[in-house]
Amino acid sequence: MNKIKISFEKPPVYDSICKTFSIIPRNVYYTYGDTIYNPDKLDIPPEIIAHEKVHMEQQKHNDKDAALWWGKYLREPEFRLDQEAKGYGRQYEVICGIIKDRNQRNKYLFQLATSLSGPLYNNIISHSEAMKLIKSFSKI
């Protein structure tokens, strides 16, 4: 298994991300190859690590494939949606293993869908569609 690296630097694609989304992201984690970039120095809970591990697998844990992945991610909204929905699906699975209360799980899913349907991903999907998509990629 590949070791996870954590960096408090901005990821190599940070400027491209800001330009593509016309925002300066705050409180966002990024994966590039086998590294989680955490420039805001946030705690990284297990469900976020699980989400970012999905991206590591998508990027084949290396910088060459990460560069190709990020290029496609920034150019193609449908690809971005698919990749993020898979990460959020895994994140939701992990949180459901931690939180047993159904109402709290639904609240968490609602928050994930708010993110997936929001400006960070160029509002590509409705909130209700995001909830369904995230659930479809989880094993819950």
Per-block average pLDDT, block size 10, for the chain (140 residues)?
85 95 90 97 97 98 97 95 97 97 98 92 92 95
Residue type for 89, please?
A: G
Dihedral class, residue 28 (left if φ above 0, else alpha if ψ from -120 to 50, else beta): beta
pTM reported for the whole predicted model:
0.94
Strand order in the sheet with 35-37: 5-7, 35-37, 30-32
How far, in Å, CA of 92 to CA of 96, rounded?
6
Cα–Cα distance list, 121 to 26, 104, 139 (Å) = 14, 24, 24
Q: What is the pLDDT of residue 119?
A: 78
